[in-house]
Chains A and B, each alone.
Chain A
């Protein structure tokens, strides 16, 4: 990314245009309509319940800026206009994601999500935030259980270890569901510690089994994340470093799933697949 001074220079160059498009809700409404197709003034009037004078005043300003052109009585959006309104809509979606799920972001650690992905966070705008409450303290977990048991394939990244998940994943992978899990060194060690010697052989067989792959991530993991063929589920660490088990964001749109696969691949590219030998060496260390 460019440095601070360069961004300030570009901001000087552009701030008039940014203000012009963002300031007026009326102009944003007009551009939204025109992005859908050419319109007559009276059609816009009907769509947005605005007065004729308000529309025509703003239309003139939009024309002066080259965002709109008039052909016969029809107003058309220009390429620049279309580009700018699309960009602003995306900006608004991101704003909605930060506002609607403020609980999830505020006082939580975002460092586990790349800037590229944060820029595309608008794709999460139609998510559901599952929150634990007094009536159901395990709500996020039971939702997560649903996500896992309904999937045809599962890719997960986890900073923590839950013995119950371990059995659950083993069960599911036996049914033919392909599972890839990215874990930290520490978590893998914990898993191995819970294995009894007589189960080690079985465990190694499971790791060798193509359906379940474990990956060791070299570094700190600050997201609890799952993407499946159906949806994504995202949880974060609190700023104090503990995992927040009380909040989980769920989204099943295809854009969100694509976003989720990019997040998974970011981690995968920095992970190493565990072999049976790796597992055994963890066991010996214990």
Chain B
């Protein structure tokens, strides 16, 4: 979208957007009705606003076709429903950003696919693990410690580090299952470090699956049934080991799995027979 298109979009809808998004009263009514039709009393209880404030707002919203003409219960019209979902999404996404503003600001979040940024609200319940002066490797150690208790992991790895290989090898030895999406560069380092034979035998066991991705991998993620870890690159293009986002929340874990699947679709599975060609 170029600037002129954006400006004409802005001219077209800014007033309408302001109408619903600037007023506390209207936003709260829309959020509340998103969860089902309500009568005045229910709206009053949920929003802690008085009847006349609510009625006035509802009249205005009815005129703009956001709320269906009144029956006993108020309900959102279809356009109202779409905008209510968008507003709730905006609240969730802006909170997730604000919760860990420093983490997002310090990293190149533009390399996260847009559709995933759009549902970043799923990452609201997470924490940032940062390195400290007395413990420079705290994020890495926390991650490896958590990893050591897992049996099934899925990773997106745009970077190579030997500690990770040790942990993964241990999981495989103990009968676990590991899926990794990696870049050509990381694949080369992996071959160099583990040797073709060892890698081949791991792949043969089919408990290790590798995918090669030629698209930009701008995130490092690890998913297990119990946690999700996200590491990012700095704006200058170097990977930042000094902080990671960690979550045990089911929404965040789902966000991670979906991101893994997103990259998997853009990758080719590594074929044992073709290892030498890489």
Contact = CB atoms under 8 A, between A and B. Distances in A.
Nearest to B107: A79
B77 to A, nearest CB: 6
Contact of A17 (B1, B13, B98): B98
Interface string A1-18: 111100110110111011
Given A14-B98, A18-B91, A98-B82, A90 B18 contact: no
A116 B115 CA distance: 10
Interface in B75-106: 77-79, 81-83, 85-86, 88-95, 97-98, 101, 104-105
A80 B3 contact: no
Contact of B14 (A28, A83, A106): A28
Nearest to A109: B78
Contact of B22 (A23, A83, A90): A23
Contact of B118 (A1, A15, A36, A87): A87
Nearest to B46: A4
Contacts, number: 150
A131 interface: no
A25 interface: yes
B88 A7 contact: yes
Interface in B6-23: 6-7, 9-10, 12-14, 16-18, 21-22
Interface residues of B, number: 54
Contact of A94 (B14, B82, B101): B82
Interface in A5-52: 7-8, 10-11, 13-15, 17-19, 22-23, 25, 28-29, 32-33, 36, 47-48
Judged by DSSP, the binding face of B is: helix
A93 B14 CA distance: 10
Contacts of A33: 3
B110 interface: yes
Interface of A: 1-4, 7-8, 10-11, 13-15, 17-19, 22-23, 25, 28-29, 32-33, 36, 47-48, 66, 78-80, 82-84, 86-87, 89-99, 102, 105-110, 115-116, 118-121, 125
